[in-house]
Chains A and B, each alone.
Chain A
Amino acid sequence: MTACPLIQVRGLHYSYEDGTAALQGVDFRLDPGESVALLGPNGSGKTTFILHLNGLLAGKGAIEICGMKPDKANLPAIRRKVGVIFQDSDSQLFMPTVLEDVSFGPRNLGLEPKAAAGRALAALEAVGIAELRNRAPYHLSAGEKKRAAIAGVLAMEPEILVLDEPTTFLDPPAQRSLAALLSRLPQSKLVVTHTVAFAEAVCTRAVFFERGRIVAEGGVTEIAARFGWAFE
């Protein structure tokens, strides 16, 4: 793991095709070992922001992932380092079986089928669903699908995990085991979430998005209290 900041973002601007400004100058930094919660209202730019972190979107401003700028040449390396787990697991698990899906990343990295399957199996064991490897994704529960999606990303051996609203569709027990799993994983994390309790369990600090900008930074509880974000 590098000692430099993993993610460094300065002055990020992005507008959609129809002109709506989604990001209006975001400054952000992620150091090794940190876990940061991204809080904020819907439409404030959280998802748009994380899509910039692995080069899926390209806005104006300075982005550095482990010192690399997200230009075409660096994208493969960046996408290996930054593993994004999207909100909808069904769009992420698109292969016929869990094992094939989790092997998708390693195969893209150039590994032979056997080696890729080995990596995939290790990732499945890390998330605790190795016995589901030959199941079809539509035979899994929401919690199992989320774990399979995480495994698919872990199989790339990333340094940063980015999760977009991972607790969607999960019932409270599943949310608890997911929080426990994430706390066990050694990677640095960025978690977009609305569930403050979940953020408190997994993250050490939080930033608050509002209208395309980060307006506050601090501890999770502190930020939640300041913006009235906790349910109680």
Chain B
Amino acid sequence: MQRAVPRSLASLDSWSRGSSALHRFDPRAKLIALLALLVAVATANRSIPRFALAVLLFLVAGFLWARLPVAGALARAAVILPFVAVLAAVLWIGGQGERAWALAAKSYLSALAALLAMATTPLPRLLGGFEKLGAPRFLLEVAQFLYRYLFLLPEEAQRMRQAAAARSMRPGIREGFRAAAGALAVLFARSYARAGAIHHAMLARGFNGRFPEMQTAHFRKADAVFAVVASAVPWGLRLL
């Protein structure tokens, strides 16, 4: 079913559907905590090694609380490291070597924190949380559809690519280029047709121009407490 879906997408989606306490908090509370941590990390400029380690331990504790694989999460956040390394190299060339380490650490921790938030909140619920916070509905609807069909279209593309590979012998760059353009055109046409089919399905069930409100959790006292505490911790760690 999900064979060709990018594994990173499938794994994050399944992580986000867990049932730990952290999963059950309102997405808005987690968002507040995430932003507080990200700003704390981004604006830190003193004794970064200690602070970074403290934040790392804090996030690892979060993953443990959420009953998520810690090693897997650490590895997944490391996806950004190659790119970060290039930027760090630029800094190093420019004579700002020590800064390079600090910025790399900040990048990694920020990615890890975002990952924790996303691994405990299914994306549609997060979008619902944004809707309650007043973000543009249309944009959120688009993102919701994008996410839903992200589990389908890349798979079609993968199949197309394999079918093409099975047929090709030794194509040169020219033919390969044209073949790829053709594949994209077909993919585009099918996507467009699919959008039309979705539209028909919507109309057939009475769609009258406005989507129903997205589902999300209710903000309770426990969520407020969590938001406050989780936001305060990174700032407290900065005092170390």
Contacts and interface: CB of A to CB of B under 8 A. Distances in A.
Interface residues of A, number: 35
Interface string B142-179: 00110111011000000000000000000000000000
A180 to B, nearest CB: 24
Given A108-B212, A138-B148, A138-B151, A94 B205 contact: no
Contact of B207 (A86, A90, A96, A108): A108
Nearest to A51: B200
Interface of B: 1-2, 5, 13, 122, 124, 144-145, 147-149, 151-152, 194, 197-198, 200-208, 212-213, 215
Q: Helix, strand, loop or mixed for chain A's interface?
A: helix
B201 A95 contact: no
Interface in A68-97: 76, 79-80, 83-84, 86, 88, 90-92, 94-97
B197 A104 contact: no
Given A94-B148, A96-B148, A107 B201 contact: no
A95 B123 CA distance: 12
B201 A91 contact: yes
User: Top 8 closest A-B pairs, CB basis?
Assistant: A108-B206, A96-B124, A91-B197, A138-B151, A107-B212, A105-B205, A92-B201, A84-B204
A141 interface: yes
12 contacts: A79-B206, A83-B205, A90-B194, A91-B200, A94-B145, A94-B198, A94-B201, A95-B148, A103-B212, A113-B212, A136-B151, A153-B204
B201 A86 contact: yes
